Each structure stands twice: as C-alpha cells, then as structure tokens.
C-alpha cells in the first residue's frame, strides 16, 4: 500500500532476449532471434512469470531492437516475435526501442525511457518496480528509472553489469528474490 493507503501498482520490467527468450550467442555476444522460428522461450520463464503474477506484479517487456535501425531486421519480424511471446506468456505490455545508439533517443537502454513510458501507461511508478536484465544496459536503465535491479548473468563476453541489487542465474531465481522483497 502507498503512504496514503492506496494500492501501489508494482511492475516487473523484463528484457526480452536473454531473459524471456533465448538470445542467439555469437562469439560470446548476445543477439536477438531473427524470426519467430528461431524464438525459444527459456525453460523457467512460464513458472517465474506465474509466480510474479500471483504476487500481484504487472509484467512488462522492455527491449532494445537496434537491428531495425541498422536495416538487418524488420519491425514486422520484431513485432511477430513479441506477438508469439504474448500469446504464450502472461505479459501485460511490450515497450520496444527500434533505434540505434546514434539516434540518441530517450527510449534506448541504458536510458530509462522505455521503463518510464510503461510505468506511466500502466498507472505505476518505476520506483516501486524491478528491472530484470541480462546486460549492463538493462541494469543501468533500471537504475536510472529508480527501479531495483536484477542481473541475470549469462557470462557474455562484454561489459558486465554493476551496482545491481541482486545477481541471478535464471528468471525463476530472480522472481523468487523479487517476491521475497515485497
């Protein structure tokens, strides 16, 4: 409950590739699947999302998809993957950034724009939420939005996240920790 006795609208913000679905890893770096046929929901995701949902959390995917701006992926393919996931999982909303770093938009993680937009749309406050991601950009975006952050360490060959609130090996482990914090 909020200070004034109102119900607090709690949200878990989830990165897509590497958290919900399996990232395509090449030379130790994660990439999104190219199409629905390559999209694989990770083994513990349905159980983790059900646990969070039972705890009263809204579930929002916040994902960077810069391959659209780079011309190596279509927006339609990204939307089809999101629709595939939405049809199979209890997700409340998707927020997608289709830009690349050079676009300098407010929505591309590590900036908090996707998180803040979703919180506004759902009538929530990001400061009452949790951001779960597998990359440093996810963690920094969550921190910038005022969320508590959970890093799922996939041991990618890239910059590691830092300053996160909890480090997990899976979404289920992350969800169990989040529920304990409520």
Catalytic positions: 15, 17
First to last CA, the chain: 11
- Quote the tokens at residue 149: 């952050």
Q: How many other C-beta atoms can be found within 10 angstroms of the C-beta atom of residue 18?
A: 23
Helix (H, G, I), strand (E, B) or coil at 127: helix
What is the DSSP code (8-state) at residue 102?
G
Distance CA 153, CA 170 (A): 8
CA distance to 19, 22, 170, per residue, from 43 (Å): 10, 9, 9
């Amino acid at each position: 409950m909020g200070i004034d006795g109102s119900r607090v609208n709690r949200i878990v913000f989830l990165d897509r590739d590497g958290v919900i679905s399996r990232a395509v890893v090449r030379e130790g770096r994660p990439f999104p699947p190219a199409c629905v046929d390559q999209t694989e929901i990770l083994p513990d995701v349905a159980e983790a999302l059900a646990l969070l949902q039972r705890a009263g959390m809204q579930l929002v995917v916040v994902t960077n998809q810069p391959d659209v701006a780079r011309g190596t992926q279509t927006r339609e393919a990204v939307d089809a993957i999101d629709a595939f996931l939405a049809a199979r999982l209890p997700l409340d909303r998707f927020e997608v950034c289709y830009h690349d770093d050079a676009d300098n938009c407010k929505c591309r993680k590590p900036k908090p724009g996707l998180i803040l937009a979703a919180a506004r749309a759902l009538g929530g406050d990001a400061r009452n939420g949790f951001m779960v991601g597998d990359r440093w950009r996810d963690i920094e975006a969550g921190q910038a939005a005022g969320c508590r952050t959970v890093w799922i360490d996939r041991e990618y060959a890239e910059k590691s996240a830092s300053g996160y609130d909890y480090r997990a090996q899976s979404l289920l482990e992350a969800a169990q920790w989040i529920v304990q914090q409520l």
